[in-house]
Chains A and B, each alone.
Chain A
Amino acid sequence: MADLLNLKEWVAVLGQLLMFALAAPMLVAWVKRVKCVLQNRKGPSLLQPYRDLSKLLKKEVRVAHTASPLFRATPYLVFSAVLVAASTVPLLQVHLPTTALADVIVLVGFLALARFFLALAGMDVGTAFGGMGASREMLISALAEPAMLMAIFTLTMSAHSTNLSSVIQHVLDTGLLLRPSLLFALLALLLVAIAETGRIPVDNPATHLELTMVHEAMILEYSGRHLALMEWAAQIKLLLYGVLISNVFFPWGIAETATAPALAIGALAILAKLVTLGMVLAVSETLVAKMRLFRVPAFLNLAFLLGLLGMLSYVILETSL
Chain B
Amino acid sequence: MNLAQLGLVEQSIFVFAALALLLSFLLLFQGRLTAMVHVFAWQGFLLALLTATVASVEHSHHLFLSAALTLMLKGLMIPWMLHRLIRKLHLERHQERLQHQALVMMAGAGLVIFSYWVVLPIARLELANTRNIVALSLAIVQLGMLLMVARRQVVAQVIGFMSMENGLFLAAVAATYGMPLVVELGIAFDVLVAAILFGVFFFHIRDSIESLDVDQLTQLSEEER
Contacts and interface: CB of A to CB of B under 8 A. Distances in A.
Interface of A: 174-181, 183-184, 298, 301-302, 305-306, 308-309, 312-313, 315-318, 320-321
Interface in B166-201: none
A180 B14 contact: yes
Nearest to B11: A178
Contacts of A305: 25, 105, 109
B99 to A, nearest CB: 14
Contact of B18 (A176, A180, A298): A180
A308 B133 CA distance: 17
B8 A320 contact: no
Contacts of A181: 18
Nearest to B13: A178
A180 to B, nearest CB: 3
19 contacts: A175-B4, A177-B11, A178-B8, A178-B15, A181-B18, A183-B15, A183-B18, A298-B29, A301-B29, A309-B22, A309-B25, A313-B18, A313-B21, A316-B116, A317-B17, A317-B136, A318-B14, A320-B123, A320-B132
Given A306-B22, A317-B14, A317-B133, 6 more contacts: A178-B14, A178-B15, A184-B22, A309-B21, A309-B112, A317-B17
Nearest to B9: A178
Q: Which has the most chain A C-beta neighbours within 10 Å: B2, B3, B112?
A: B3
Contacts of B1: 321
Contact of A318 (B3, B8, B102, B135): B3
A178 B12 contact: yes
B95 interface: no
A161 B112 CA distance: 26
Given A312-B112, A317-B132, A298 B101 contact: yes
B22 A176 contact: no
B102 A301 contact: yes
A84 B129 CA distance: 45
Contacts of A180: 14-15, 17-19
Nearest to A176: B8
Nearest to B132: A317
B72 interface: no
B113 interface: yes
Given A178-B14, A306-B22, A312 B116 contact: yes
Contacts of A318: 3, 14
Nearest to A181: B18
B64 to A, nearest CB: 22
* Secondary structure type dominating chain A contacts: helix
Contacts, number: 70
Contact of B2 (A301, A313, A321): A321
Interface of B: 1-4, 8, 11-12, 14-15, 17-19, 21-22, 25, 29, 101-102, 105, 109, 112-113, 116, 123, 129, 132-133, 135-136
Contacts of A309: 18, 21-22, 25, 112
A316 B17 CA distance: 11
A312 B106 CA distance: 13
Given A301-B101, A301-B102, A312-B113, A177 B22 contact: no
A185 to B, nearest CB: 12
A316 B3 contact: no
Contacts of A308: 109
Contact of B135 (A176, A179, A306, A316): A316
A316 B136 contact: yes
B18 A317 contact: yes
B132 A316 contact: yes
B10 to A, nearest CB: 9
A317 B139 CA distance: 13
Nearest to B120: A320
A179 B105 contact: no
A116 to B, nearest CB: 25
Contacts of B2: 321
Contacts of A301: 29, 101-102, 105
A171 to B, nearest CB: 12
A175 B19 CA distance: 22
Nearest to A173: B4
A114 B88 CA distance: 54
A186 to B, nearest CB: 12
Q: Which has the most chain B C-beta neighbours within 10 Å: A180, A301, A302, A306?
A: A180
Contacts of A302: 29
A184 B132 CA distance: 18
B98 to A, nearest CB: 10
Contacts of A177: 3-4, 11
Contacts of A174: 4
A311 B76 CA distance: 32
B37 to A, nearest CB: 20
